[in-house]
Structure 1
Amino acid sequence: MMNWSHEIDDAIQTSDPRLSNFKITRLHWLLSNALSEELGHDVGANFHSWAVWGSRKAGVTIRQADRDQASRDATIVAGIVGGLVGVVVGWAVARTSTISLPTSIMTWVTIGTITGGICGWLLARYTRVRAASLILRGNRIVLDDIGRVTASYLNFLSRSRSLPAETADFASWRASLRPGKSEDDGQDLLARAFSCYEQARTSDDAKTKHEQTYFGNCLAVLHEHYRLQPIIARSLPFLISRCVTQRLMTYSVGETQLAVHDDVPPLDETTFPPTLMKIQSIELGEFLHGSHGWDVGRDQLTDTKAHAWTDLHQRMGYIVNLFRTRHLSPDVVASPYDDDQLSDIAEGKLPQQPW
């Protein structure tokens, strides 16, 4: 049996940021597979299945592979803003001097465009370097927190097989998690998430299995995003968060390319899988559609796009619908790397490109 604690320690303590991210992504994939073995392959994707693709996207920023694109976009946007400011300044100067209006506006538009473009380029370079450090920190937090809970749950199930059924007490295992809110380093949401997984594992009904696993995924990712909110906000400064969301927040799930600034697309023209089309669980229904529910689409995929990724409600509105549409998609549980790359990462080496 894999020593999960050792593997997690190694991944988060690896000094090379790129290799650390590759190890984290690989471990999410291994945890996804191990959890599927326990819950049943018919329950759909679990949290770690999704975390694979989040970690892989994080790797792009950690390696700063998107820095050139970010710099170009920021230069263009800031240049346009500088040019518009130049129009206003040029008009004001012409009103208070002998310089003609066309000459004044042309001069100040040129100055504003050049100055704005330079400032945008410098801001993008600075923010991408800072973002790389912050996102690696978040990447490690997720594995260190949720990964260890999953490992503990897997070990509990393994031990339970050697014990009489009446002594295999899930409630006692759940009680071992830290009480409290996610924002305060508590694990109440994770306790609820793994209770859902346990219901899925022990149920014989396909709808219950899918609903409870999906609910567990949503609770786990909400816990994650409460924990990561300060990091996400700092990695995407307010002044450029909408620009970054619109132009850079693209990602892949398996072979499918998606973008958070678009509404969540249906899978094979079907809004949701049949077992998740109508929600039966009262608790899940409240989580999605209650007065403080997270499903902005309300059982549809319209208006599920995120305009600013720093906004928790917009992120969750997008994520809960993404998870629901693709809960049974083979792409979600696919391997993030080929066998040779996985072997390299397991040996502590950077995998061969392309990444």
Structure 2
Amino acid sequence: MAAIPASEHATHFHDAAYLPPLALTAEAPLQAPRVTRSGVVERSTRIAARGMPAETSESASLLDRVHDVIALSDQPVLRNLLITQCYYEISAELVTLLGGGNAHWCTFATWASKTAGSFIRNEEVPSVLRWLILSDDEEREAVVPRLLRRRGQGEPERASAWRLSAVELISPWWGQGFGLMELPERILSELSADIALGNLKVFEELGPLFARMIQLYRGCPRPGKKELAELLEGLERGPSTDGGQGLLRSAMEHYHDAMLTEDKDKKAELILLANARVGLHEQVRLQPYIARALNAPVRCAVDTVGLPEALQSMVLDKVEKLKAFWRAIATKEMMTMRLPDEILELGHDLPAPPGLPLHCAELETIEDRELYELLLKYDAHDQTTAGCGAKDWALLSERMGYILELFRSRQCCPRLLERPFNGEQHAEIVAWRVPSPIHGDL
């Protein structure tokens, strides 16, 4: 069975619950060069791409082209780069509007989207997955020592042995056992497609909303009820689980209030509360995509084997247990987020930011009752991150506990506000081209 292309796979996984983006003034769509799944610009479009208007890295902006980015349905690699750059530009504007010093939700989204990009480009093939799909015993033996050293020196021997026994439990029936040469390609293809689609779905809803916020609030020294009412217009009431946008409505109100207060502690708490509500809404929306991506290796293996229909019901329980077991391994060993000065492992407790205390002074204690109750719900209310490492990233409660700790501990970290791409990469991306390797690693 051939690997499933991302565009075909995405077609079958359309999420009808997403509402159309808010109206936003946009220029005529830009004819972007076509890009292969590996991120290489097709030869037939390179000449046309050279004819695009040259824009400098300093002056080019994507804030007016949000809908064009969303419409780039058949080029997931380029679209992800544009989404990441859009998040950065929105973040830079909104951090300034909020008074500076506090990261906005889009600040975190910038780095999450950039991390997702490495999977979309099939660059991030985690060592455990690589070990499982290798077909040669000697290759596997060469990888195992690196797996055991991955967490560094000083790890208890029992923990290392557990991880090794976990992957050994799965490997006998994996690609080698059935000789399924196309299985690794299919797994990577589905992972890439699911992550790309989730990346798009979140931006499709939130990108236009925050771009509209900038349009309404920029140049307005003290925004009032009129600006807030226009911002909330079109956001549906109701819970996110039912397709509503009540969490987004309250988040916009908190951002609005944060702009108006001069109290640093109150401002920081209002921004954290807004970030948390956007984050919760986003994670509810992402639930099917995350679960599907994490289950991809087991699902692909079972589908490729092609069990007779009579046997499928008999082994269904075993397959579900295997999926849960695999998700635990993936969360512990594969799930990471790359920030400018650190790589966070989502299956492990969150450390303090490099060179900084765990929480900034404004967020060391929480005074806002609404914020405290939300943090308490996901066990992120105290002054420690012990126990926040997720055990199964497919579970909403596990993700939110870690994400809220991340938001609180990194909200005042200045390095999060750095550009996600270097100057040459930025110039290529805003010209709607995928940077070549000579421009540096993405």
TM-score range, shorter chain: 0.7 to 0.9
2:419 matched residue in structure 1: 335
How far, CA to CA, are the matches of 2:224 and 2:413 in structure 1? 36
Identify if the C-alpha distance between structure 1 residues 138 and 316 changes in structure 2 by more than 3 Å, giving closer, same or farther: same
| 1:210 positional shift | 0.8
* Contact 2:340/2:418, CA 8 A, preserved across alignment: yes
How far, CA to CA, are the matches of 2:194 and 2:369 in structure 1? 37
2:127 aligned with 1:69, yes or no? Answer: yes
Residue by residue over 1:165-222, the C-alpha shift from the partner in whole angstroms, topping out at 9 and shown as x without a partner, is 7773524532431212223332111111111111110000000111111111111111
* Contact 2:385/2:405, CA 8 A, preserved across alignment: yes
1:45 matched residue in structure 2: 103
2:95 aligned with 1:36, yes or no? Answer: yes
Larger CA Rg, structure 1 vs 2: 1
Residue by residue over 1:233-274, the C-alpha shift from the partner in whole angstroms, topping out at 9 and shown as x without a partner, is 111113421121122112211121111111000123622111
Unaligned runs of 5+ in 1: 80-109
Equivalent residue in structure 1 for 2:194, among 114, 134, 141: 134
Task: Specify the code of the residue in structure 1 equivalent to 2:365.
Answer: K
* Contact 2:258/2:271, CA 8 A, preserved across alignment: yes
Higher relative contact order (CA 8 A, sep 6+): 2
Q: Give the TM-score normalised by the residue count of structure 2.
A: 0.66
2:244 aligned with 1:157, yes or no? Answer: no
How far, CA to CA, are the matches of 1:35 and 1:144 in structure 2? 18
How far, CA to CA, are the matches of 2:431 and 2:329 in structure 1? 39
Task: Specify the code of the residue in structure 2 equivalent to 1:182.
Answer: S
Unaligned runs of 5+ in 2: 1-23, 27-61, 138-167, 296-322
Task: Specify the code of the residue in structure 1 equivalent to 2:338.
Answer: S
Greater CA deviation, 120-129 or 198-207? 120-129
How far, CA to CA, are the matches of 1:202 and 1:167 in structure 2? 12
Q: SS in structure 2 opposite 1:305?
A: coil
How far, CA to CA, are the matches of 2:114 and 2:224 in structure 1? 41
2:337 aligned with 1:251, yes or no? Answer: yes
Q: SS in structure 2 opposite 1:67?
A: coil
1:90 matched residue in structure 2: none
2:365 aligned with 1:278, yes or no? Answer: yes
Equivalent residue in structure 1 for 2:385, among 301, 319, 323: 301
* Contact 2:67/2:208, CA 8 A, preserved across alignment: no
Identify if the C-alpha distance between structure 1 residues 276 and 63 changes in structure 2 by more than 3 Å, giving closer, same or farther: same
Task: Specify the code of the residue in structure 2 equivalent to 1:348.
Answer: W
1:18 matched residue in structure 2: 77
Identify if the C-alpha distance between structure 1 residues 258 and 5 changes in structure 2 by more than 3 Å, giving closer, same or farther: closer
2:273 matched residue in structure 1: 215
Alignment of 1:197-212 (within 5 A): 197-212=255-270
More helix by share: 1
How far, CA to CA, are the matches of 1:204 and 1:226 in structure 2? 33
Tell me the number of residue pairs that the alignment of Structure 1 and Structure 2 aligns.
316
| 1:66 positional shift | 2.2
| 1:321 positional shift | 0.5
How far, CA to CA, are the matches of 1:159 and 1:167 in structure 2? 15
Aligned CA RMSD, in angstroms, stands at 2.7
How far, CA to CA, are the matches of 2:397 and 2:413 in structure 1? 25
2:254 matched residue in structure 1: 196
How far, CA to CA, are the matches of 2:207 and 2:177 in structure 1? 40
2:320 aligned with 1:261, yes or no? Answer: no
Task: Specify the code of the residue in structure 1 equivalent to 2:255.
Answer: Y
How far, CA to CA, are the matches of 2:255 and 2:82 in structure 1? 25
2:403 aligned with 1:319, yes or no? Answer: yes
Identify if the C-alpha distance between structure 1 residues 327 and 160 changes in structure 2 by more than 3 Å, giving closer, same or farther: closer
2:147 matched residue in structure 1: none
| 1:131 positional shift | 1.6
Identify if the C-alpha distance between structure 1 residues 113 and 31 changes in structure 2 by more than 3 Å, giving closer, same or farther: closer
Q: SS in structure 2 opposite 1:257?
A: strand
* Contact 1:297/1:317, CA 8 A, preserved across alignment: no
How far, CA to CA, are the matches of 1:255 and 1:214 in structure 2? 21
Task: Specify the code of the residue in structure 2 equivalent to 1:138.
Answer: G
| 1:114 positional shift | 4.9
Greater CA deviation, 175-184 or 324-333? 175-184
Residue by residue over 1:45-73, the C-alpha shift from the partner in whole angstroms, topping out at 9 and shown as x without a partner, is 00110000110111111111123735423
